[in-house]
Chains A and B, each alone.
Chain A
Amino acid sequence: MAKKVFSRPESLKEAFFHYCPGCGHSISHRLICEVIDEMGIRGITIGVPPAGCAVLAYFYFDVDMIEAQHGRGPATATGIKRVLPDRVVFSYQGDGDLAAIGLAESFHAANRGENITVIFINNAVYGMTGGQMAPTTMLDQKTTTSPAGRNKTLDGYPVKVCETFSQLKGTTYIERVTVNSPANVNKTKKAIKKAFQCQMDGLGFSLVEILSPCPTNWKLSPVAACKWIDDVMSKEFPLGVFKDNIEAAKKPAEAAL
């Protein structure tokens, strides 16, 4: 009998994604679901999708979910996790959600060291509303609200979430990855798994930033969008681990045994 090597993760509902061709959300959804399956945590996981393109995530994730208002995911996740500390709680946020309207909620959840995981999709635009300038839009990048390109004097600079959050003592694990190639997809899955494991072990706040292609609003083909991440976006937002205090955080726990 032929060996089954690829199938739909159990935690991913049988539904067609509404995402555009070449969008990074669908890959990211799938990766999270694969991790949930592999860790066997479907029954204890509660997800908090955002306002934005991923607002309908509860049609795809087969885990308990509650929608958050724009930017408030980490506050809602905090409430859930404090009442149910043994559940796995993640919030799924876009760049406008995390780095603009919900910056305070995200920053302070991180600073309190809430034992939750934030999946941060950075695609450098407001996708759902039609491609407006995001806090992470590149300098000179043209969007519908920066038609002449993002102007550093008038519009400010791209916000660096991993760099900033890794400075907070409350955070444990922070990594920036991308899903623009098979190798990078594998790395992203590893990062998500590590972040969830960090939470399962009670070690504190974890965040995985995923540079995610948005061909529709970047006005590029899916292939060119993936290349743009390599050529432009990852120059501004370098990939890599920004903070990994997992081993250090384990020590006090081990010392207590």
Chain B
Amino acid sequence: MNKVLMSGNNIIAEAAIRAGCRFYAGYPITPQNELIEYMAEHMRSVEGGVFIQSESELAAIHMLIGASIAGARVMTSSSSPGISLKQEGISSMAACEIPGIIVNIMRGGPGLGNIRPSQGDYFQATRGGGHGDYRTIVYGPATCQELADLTMKAFDLSDKYRNPVMILADGMMGQMMEPVIFKKPKPRQYSEKFMLRGCGAGKSKFIRGLILDPIDMEEHNWKLARKYQVITKNETLHEEYKTEDADLVIVAYGTAARVAKGAIKRLRENKVRVGLFRPITLWPFPELKLRALSKKVKKFLVFELSTGQMLEDVRLALQGFADIEFHGRPGGVVPTPAELANVIARYYERED
């Protein structure tokens, strides 16, 4: 398998097509435009591939619903304000258990914000995002190789659990170039019984999220909740970097984790024993693994490109067993590893 140099947005698109994605609908928004443009260029030349530039993000997600129940692997992509528009459809997908991949190349917010890298959509992504009691599986890749691998994996998981999966990256991840190897995707396993392709001579089916009887709706909610428990048990992913001897552990994901690794390398040169805990699945959050780490580490520093969102998950995971500090740069600012190293060093040396 050949190593190729590609930008993040293009990698996601290429990985999706290789994973068998045959329906893409999207709407232009910076900083994810390379993704929709790559799809426009390549999707229609793949057998059975459909590319639609939709009239809105809202239309795109509802096109995905149709294409997904018709039997295709489907993807849409956008950036923060556009993802807000998609939430109606993501909620429907969760309710009706329809697979599909949503890519969010986050930018500064709230509102129109700006087009710089940010991590302000963590709450929206990991708490469901739209209305109702549901979750989406959320990946927070930190390298271009992970963009490729996790995009492919997202399709498998989305089919396996019949649940929407979100790739939560940011403008930096979307724009940067790194060498990548596209691995061989697994063959699709998805039963036709979940598709809606015309009933033939058989019994007709219907798919709906409207359940008027509250007792039935309650049971549907619990059924979904049980599924989310299985996902939480089986699908959490994380990376630990230099945590073996660490006195202080940074918790960061995505671009922030890359900055953190740079800071850790500097500090290690000065014999500061610091490591990184990087959640790869943001929902389900690798809660138990982080808690296990608090048995030997008593200082944690959460670093995010926001005012502190994943921070809440870290607090829930550590349950007061360790000291937690926070450093955040919201609004589209990406600090240097040197800045973060200074913050870490001060906290490291502080005597409580």
Contacts and interface: CB of A to CB of B under 8 A. Distances in A.
A104 B206 contact: no
A82 B59 CA distance: 14
B199 A87 contact: no
B337 to A, nearest CB: 44
Interface in A90-133: 104-105, 107-108, 112
Contacts, number: 129
B196 A108 contact: no
A76 B207 contact: no
Given A64-B206, A67-B207, A87-B197, A79 B68 contact: yes
B208 A58 contact: yes
Interface stretch (B48-56, B153-161, B252-260): B48-56
A97 to B, nearest CB: 13
Interface in B66-98: 66-72, 74, 88-89, 92, 96
Contacts of B207: 65-67
A83 interface: yes
Interface string A26-63: 00000000000000001111101001000110100111
A69 interface: yes
B214 interface: no
B25 interface: yes
Contact of B200 (A43, A66, A75, A108): A43
A232 B196 CA distance: 41
Interface residues of A, number: 36
Contacts of B209: 67
Q: Chain B interface secondary structure, helix, strand, loop or mixed?
A: mixed
B208 A66 contact: yes
Nearest to B201: A43
B199 A79 contact: no
Nearest to A55: B210
A84 interface: yes
B62 A108 contact: no
B189 interface: no
B62 A64 contact: no
A173 B193 CA distance: 34
A41 to B, nearest CB: 9
Given A64-B198, A67-B210, A79 B65 contact: yes
A80 B67 contact: yes
A72 interface: yes
Contacts of A87: 197-198
Contact of A78 (B56, B66, B96, B206): B66
Contact of B89 (A48, A69, A80, A107): A69
Contacts of A68: 62, 65
B210 A66 contact: no
Contact of B208 (A63, A67, A75): A67
Contacts of B184: none
Given A62-B204, A63-B204, A79 B196 contact: no
A45 B64 CA distance: 19
Interface of B: 22-23, 25, 50, 52, 54-56, 58-60, 62-72, 74, 88-89, 92, 96, 196-202, 204-210
Interface of A: 42-46, 48, 51, 55-56, 58, 61-69, 72, 75-84, 87, 104-105, 107-108, 112
Given A63-B204, A65-B206, 14 more contacts: A58-B208, A64-B196, A64-B205, A64-B206, A65-B196, A65-B207, A66-B66, A66-B196, A67-B208, A72-B62, A75-B63, A76-B66, A77-B66, A87-B197
